[in-house]
Chain A
Amino acid sequence: MLKTLKLLLPALMPSWRFFDVIAPSPRIEFALLENAQEVPQHWQEFRTRPVHLSLGEMLKRLFWNPEWNESLFLVSCAERLMQYPTEHSHQEILKRIVAENARQGEGAAYVQFRLVFLHREGAEVQKDVTYISSVYRRQP
Chain B
Amino acid sequence: MNFDDAVRFTEILLGLAFLQQSLEHLRGANDGRWLFLLRMVLSLLLVIGVQTPWVCVALVVLGLLMLRWFQGPYNGGSDRMSLLILCGLCLHYFVPTLRLQEAVFGYVALQLVLSYFIAGWAKIVNPEWRNGRALRDVFLFSAYPVSESVRAWAQHPRLLWVMSWAVMLFELLFPLTLATQMTLMIGLAIAACFHLANACLFGFNRFFWIWLAAYPSILWLQQRIM
**A-to-B contact residues, CB < 8 Å:** 3-4, 7-8, 10-12, 14-22, 25-27, 49-53, 55, 58-59, 61-73, 75-76, 80, 86, 88-89, 92, 95-96, 99-100, 118-120, 125
User: Are A53 and B71 interface neighbours, CB within 8 A?
Assistant: no
Once the chains bind, are B141 and A118 in contact (CB under 8 Å)?
yes
Let me know if A49 and B148 touch, CB within 8 A. yes
User: Complex Cα distance A54/B196, Å?
Assistant: 15
CA–CA, A66 to B64, complex, Å?
Answer: 21
- Contact in complex: B142, A22 (CB < 8 Å): yes
Q: Which residues of B contact A125 (CB under 8 A)?
A: 140-141
Contact A76–B27 (Cβ < 8 Å) = no
Candidates A7, A20, A118; contact of B67 at CB < 8 Å: A7
Q: How far is the CA of A3 from the CA of B69 in the complex (A)?
A: 12
Whether B142 and A63, one on each chain, are in contact in the complex, defined by CB atoms closer than 8 angstroms, is no
Decide yes or no whether B175 CB sits under 8 A from chain A: no
Chain A proximity of B184: nearest CB distance (Å): 19
Taking the complex as formed, is B200 at the interface, i.e. its CB lies under 8 A from any CB of chain A? yes
Known pairs A17-B119, A72-B76, A76-B76; list 15 more (Cβ under 8 Å). Answer: A11-B82, A16-B114, A17-B118, A18-B119, A20-B119, A22-B137, A61-B200, A62-B199, A63-B20, A64-B23, A67-B28, A71-B143, A80-B72, A88-B71, A125-B141
User: Could you tell me the distance between the alpha carbons of A58 and B206 in the complex, rounded to whole angstroms?
Assistant: 13
**Bound CA–CA A49/B208 (angstroms):** 21
Q: How many angstroms between the C-alpha atoms of A72 and B205 in the bound complex? A: 12
Task: Assess A68 versus B142: contact at CB under 8 Å? Given A18-B119, A51-B149, A63-B20.
Answer: no
B45-75 vs A, CB cutoff 8 Å, 1 = contact: the mask equals: 0000000000000000000100110111111
* B196 nearest in chain A by CB position: A62
Q: B185 at interface (Cβ–Cβ under 8 A)?
A: no
Q: Cβ of B79 and Cβ of A11 under 8 Å apart?
A: yes
Q: Per-residue CB proximity of B202-222 to A under 8 Å, as 1/0?
A: 010110100000000000000
In this complex, the member of B25, B128, B142 whose beta carbon has the largest number of chain A beta carbons within 10 angstroms is: B142
When the two chains form their complex, are residues B205 and A63 in contact, meaning their CB atoms are under 8 A apart?
A: yes
Contact (Cβ within 8 A) A17 B29: no
Complex formed: what's the CA distance from A100 to B115 in Å? 36
